[in-house]
Structure 1
Amino acid sequence: MAAAEEHDYEALPETTPLYTHLLAGALAGISEHSIMYPFDFIKTRMQIINPNPQAVYHGITHAIQSIRTTEGAQAMWRGISSMVVGAGPAHALYFATYEHCKEMFGGNIGDEHHFLATGAAGACATVTSDALMNPFDVVKQRMQVHGSTFRSVLACTAHVLRTEGIAAFYVSYPTTLVMNVPFQSVQFPTYEYFRKVLNPSGAYDPVTHIISGGLAGSIAAAVTTPLDVAKTLLQTRGYATDADIRNASGLRAAFRIIYQRNGVAGFFRGMQPRVLAHMPSTAICWTTYEYFKWIIGAQEAERISELESDIRTTARTTADL
């Protein structure tokens, strides 16, 4: 395994097939979202404007106590099936696109901090993966709303299609991009920066990935919270009794409604659970992804080493003859 241990897993061999990035990304995405799902559930509840009186929460602790008392602890996992179904393929596409674009933009050259290259690669990854994930995210949030009667992804999907049409699955897509492109453009360079600062050697180090991922996720989540509030309004508008909210058609309308109803403070509703969710979830995502890159890279390097050894042995045998 000596050759495998010396292999730089950060840049997998060119012979590495695409499915390795896809598999590592899918496992990372499912792990990230599944473990921290209850915080995402609470964040959605806290961001909804004019909620049911029973769903008015004064902080995370109060939200957990209220949900457990009135709906049962299992309610905080409602909608997770939609997330799991969508997160696997969406994150597979996400990381594969990121790795390809980072290489293409020169983000793997030398030991420098390539902020523009990694930021641009993160933006490209977001555009492609969100196009796939957005409908699943809409269904997930519809199932998270207080009083939701949907108990399956198919039932919720069929209802939205029947009552609002297919456009409802993408009404928040522009807003999602406006939020996630800055989020990923902040998260990826921040992660790469801290990873290189904390671990200049580039050797596989889970602690470095955990710390770097946590810092990157929390910073990016905090600065993009206003956009996330607007996205939640658009994705849950079908449950609103307020005609103004039900007819909101884009980011500008969402911002106007949020400011009219809650002022500047309304743009930061749910920031605490959002940051608390993204900090560990991003750490989990990057740590899982880097782990599988390391495993795959080591196996690929060992395979190449054995192949080169066989070629040298064959060459010596031929020369002796």
Structure 2
Amino acid sequence: MTQAEVDYDYEALPENAPLTACLLAGAIAGVAEHAVMYPVDSIKTRMQILAPTPQAMYSGVFNAASRISTTEGARTLWRGVNSVIMGAGPAHALYFATYEYAKESFGGNAAGHHPVAAAAAGACATTAHDALMNPFDVIKQRMQVHGSVYRSVMDCASKVYRTEGLRAFYISYPTTLTMTIPFKSIEIATYEYLRKVLNPTGNYDPMTHIMAGGVAGAAAAAATTPLDVAKTLLQTRGESKDVRIRNCNGLVEAWRIIYQRQGLAGFAKGLQPRVLSHMPSTAICWSVYEYGKWFFTRDNLDKQPILA
């Protein structure tokens, strides 16, 4: 068998591929994912606030974008973006490095479809990612709410720490994991399945990653929106004037408040902007990551042994 007859699946990293390939590709993918769709994420946060001020009540995504831009300025949609950029790089580097290691360990790189292995690898990766990213996410959402008075990421972090303590940055971590583990499990299992269906050869194909990533992101976002509503309540509780919300201590209590105030419809708040945000952002994340992985390991792939 000659070199030309051998199809190497670049997505299963070669043994001599450096760890920096995953770290760099993951960091770039994370920043791209969060930065590009940040304004839609800001709208999602605004729409999920349980007791908004009259000025922050919106009928939909376009209504929110128009009103925020005209009354507060278009730059408001980008408030807090520095927080996710600061956190997304290292957090996603850790995420993808953990994911690649776990997927290989669980047999996810073997021939055929392995949705359980992919989902398990995603769960391991997101646990590590969220431990690092959660404080940055809290700061981001505090700066996204209507009437936020924080001047910068550091100003927000220092004021939250002084008034609410370190616990404020991790009060939502259990809820975040409860949401992101199924989110990432659904996303990755769907992505890996569609990737292999659309591109069975495993050769680098950007359109495959875009399509598979978009569908996977939309499916995972829709399925986990009720958990995201609870996460938003917990992460922004310090900005609320409602005593019960300010004292909410966990997922069960958050869900109880949401149900009592808005019924079942409350669990779907922000569904539209969440799906609209995650569909392109997940497509961007996976396509940038797969390109980065291919780019940083292309020399290593050329050095693979030729099978006789």
Match of 1:214 in 2: 214
Distance in 1 (alpha carbons) for counterparts of 2:296 and 2:170: 36
Match of 1:142 in 2: 142
Distance in 2 (alpha carbons) for counterparts of 1:7 and 1:289: 18
Instruction: Letter of the 1:14 partner, please give it.
Output: E
Question: Which TM-score applies when normalising by structure 1?
Answer: 0.92
Deviation at 1:6, TM superposition (A): 5.3
1:298 has 2:298 as partner: yes
Give yes or no for contact 2:182–2:224 (8 Å, CA) kept in 1.
yes
Give yes or no for contact 1:176–1:231 (8 Å, CA) kept in 2.
yes
Instruction: Letter of the 1:186 partner, please give it.
Output: I
Distance in 1 (alpha carbons) for counterparts of 2:129 and 2:167: 18
Instruction: Letter of the 1:241 partner, please give it.
Output: K
Moved over 2 A (4+): 5-8
Distance in 2 (alpha carbons) for counterparts of 1:151 and 1:31: 24
Instruction: Letter of the 2:270 partner, please give it.
Output: G
Instruction: Letter of the 1:81 partner, please give it.
Output: N
1:165 has 2:175 as partner: no
Equivalent position SS for 1:201: coil
Distance in 1 (alpha carbons) for counterparts of 2:88 and 2:12: 24
1:108 has 2:105 as partner: no
Q: Deviations over 1:231-270 (max 9, x none)?
A: 0000000011111000000001100000011000000000
Give yes or no for contact 2:171–2:234 (8 Å, CA) kept in 1.
yes
Instruction: Letter of the 1:276 partner, please give it.
Output: L
Q: Matches of residues 274-313 of structure 1 in structure 2 within 5 Å?
A: 274-302=274-302, 304=303
Instruction: Letter of the 1:177 partner, please give it.
Output: L
Q: Deviations over 1:116-150 (max 9, x none)?
A: 10000000001000000000000000000100011
1:11 has 2:1 as partner: no
Gap regions ≥5 residues in structure 2: none
Match of 1:314 in 2: none
Distance in 1 (alpha carbons) for counterparts of 2:84 and 2:95: 15
Match of 1:248 in 2: 248
Q: Matches of residues 193-208 of structure 1 in structure 2 within 5 Å?
A: 193-208=193-208
Distance in 1 (alpha carbons) for counterparts of 2:265 and 2:203: 43
Deviation at 1:156, TM superposition (A): 0.3
Instruction: Letter of the 1:221 partner, please give it.
Output: A
Distance in 2 (alpha carbons) for counterparts of 1:253 and 1:247: 10
Distance in 2 (alpha carbons) for counterparts of 1:13 and 1:222: 35
Match of 1:87 in 2: 88
Distance in 2 (alpha carbons) for counterparts of 1:189 and 1:48: 31
Distance in 2 (alpha carbons) for counterparts of 1:259 and 1:292: 43
Distance in 2 (alpha carbons) for counterparts of 1:152 and 1:170: 20
Deviation at 1:69, TM superposition (A): 1.2
Deviation at 1:8, TM superposition (A): 2.5
Match of 2:24 in 1: 23
Match of 1:234 in 2: 234
Distance in 2 (alpha carbons) for counterparts of 1:16 and 1:49: 47
Equivalent position SS for 2:147: coil
Match of 1:271 in 2: 271
Give yes or no for contact 1:7–1:298 (8 Å, CA) kept in 2.
no
Distance in 2 (alpha carbons) for counterparts of 1:204 and 1:119: 22
Give yes or no for contact 1:213–1:283 (8 Å, CA) kept in 2.
yes
CA root-mean-square deviation: 1.4
Q: Deviations over 1:261-316 (max 9, x none)?
A: 100000000000000000000000000000011112212223x26xx89xxxxxxx
Higher CA-based Rg: 1
Q: Matches of residues 49-198 of structure 1 in structure 2 within 5 Å?
A: 49-110=50-111, 112-198=112-198
Q: When the two structures are aligned, how many residues end up with a matched partner?
A: 303
Instruction: Letter of the 1:128 partner, please give it.
Output: A
Give yes or no for contact 2:8–2:203 (8 Å, CA) kept in 1.
no
